[in-house]
Structure 1
Amino acid sequence: MRIVMMGTGPFAVPTFEALIESDHEVVCLFTQPLRPTRGKRPAPPTPMRDVATKHGLPIYDPESINTDDARAILREQEADLLVVCDYGQILSNESLALAKLGGINLHGSILPKYRGAAPVNWAVYNGDEETGVTVIHMTPKLDGGPCLKVVRTPIEPTETAVELEPRLALLGVPAVLESIALLEENGGESLVGEPQDPSLVSKAPRLKKTDADIDWTMSAQQIYNQFRAFQPWPGCYTHLSRGDKPPLRLILAEISLLSTPADASVKPGCIAAATADQLQIAANGGRIVVHKLQPAGKKVMEAAEFVRGYQPKVGDAFLSESQL
């Protein structure tokens, strides 16, 4: 089967490599254009481009796959199937029609749950105990086609999105290969797969910087889930109130969850312990233990170093941006 791969992010790499090594013919890669960086920031990695270059495959990066020029390039490939994963663009009916069997998409959730750009992050943020991957037969409606294959996996209690995503990417490889076999056997003569239940749809919108702001009225578990979900970006930050001084912005670089009995003497968001080797922040249903943090304009430091240098006291409050 002649396959056009469409992908940009690292989630797509294991599937791309597996397709290249399979009996199918991968003819090219469509990916997002390279974006200029600001200042002296290094260019972001382009793992999909690296794989394509390694194997001598043509790379196409139109601003939109749905323009006449992009469709002309796609038409020239004479593809049997489009395989889409972590691409970043939605294909129109006209674009999908340029492959004999249309397209399939590998998505990092159990659809119809978490349709959108950041399914792995929002599953962790919401404290889900299970997630997975779904391969759908594509329609122009975002993640809305029938499901060809679903693979489930538990989310470990301390697992971050950074750790979970590559696990899901590997789970997707056999799911994609099996889905291609289903379509190949069917030959496009009829619809394949299970329709998605519209009543179960939930959204996984693209992450924003403001998602990193900690609301200390949430439970300790919710705050810990927020930290796990938003690594490495947008991370988690808060502000330490310092009396007459301006609040100090802090990025929490490494934390853990400590379950404790309710302690009415320390309000949520206030320091519960600040010793030579530990910084604990009270929260509903537990405490957040800070191991590493980064004051604004400074390097990441151990909590003990922060306590020695800034001398926070029990009862000092951490604030969200809405409280400043």
Structure 2
Amino acid sequence: MTDLSATGLEHISELEEPIVPNADADADAEGLAVVSKSPTQLAFRRFLRHRLAVACLGILVLLTLMVVFAPLTARYSEIEQVTDDSGAILRNVSPRWDAWFGTDDIGRDLYARIIWGGRVSMFIGIAVAFFSAIIGTAVGALAGWRGGRVDDALMRVTDIFLAFPLLVALLVMRNLFAEITWLRWLFGDLSSPRFIVVLLSLVGWMLVARLVRGTILSLKEREFVEAARALGATDRKIIMRHLIPNSLGPIIVAMTTTVAVAIITESTLSFFGYGPNPAEGRSSWGNLLREADGAITTGREWKAIFPGLTLVLVVLCVNFVGDGLRDAFDPKQRRTSG
């Protein structure tokens, strides 16, 4: 069965130039061979033409490798202090050859802290995008397929979540969850990265839900769905094997947006003191910015500049990759907006 694009993009595969058969084959058997490509292959080719998105993807891959292999890419651990030849601790030292990004108030290497902190920030961003996609896909698929009262009820719940300011909703939910004993037993404390992932996932699924619902509403009356029904396919099989796979384009694009929003939101929570506890050796980029509060006015600007630039670079790259994926999965939207 022909695969459909996620947003109803192209239902006819592009054709490559005819390929002349190998000379060793029977020249009289077939004249010319035509190779068709799937919508996924076509989207991949269109993404590769988006040079900025490809460059940003390369930067993200490089940063991810540096974060994953932090013991190899960082000279110091997150809590290790930088010392000179005499053993004296180098506190608040500006960038130099043995401390590329300088040091903090107690002599820890800022470059190493950014690399190790990336493990927390990027883990939270990716995990939130993954779980938000699962929740949003389930809600959107159920609403779009069932329609009627089910659709109305689920969309009203979505609207309620969207109506609350994000930070206010997070702080209210955090205080409510603090009173639930089994949650504290499960996560240990409310500053663990796992708890922050759960918290952000509960308020980050609405975009995916709306996109999946809209896609399924446009696809469920198509001929291939009617054919699946005629063959006796159950609702679950139609949704899981036909509709959700054809919604992957919007889901992937929404996930890139969620990664960026989650990283920024976690940094904001950390800046206000509600993020991962840096005392337990799990500082995020938001923690570094919180510690650098007032650094620029005291002549120690490197403490704010380097974590801030890292955060901006990652978020911009994620957004540009998302733009490239959106254009790849929906070239009609690109032509319309252009």
Q: Give the TM-score range, shorter chain.
A: under 0.3
The structure with the larger Rg is: 2
Higher helix share: 2
Higher strand share: 1
TM-score normalised by the chain length of structure 1: 0.21
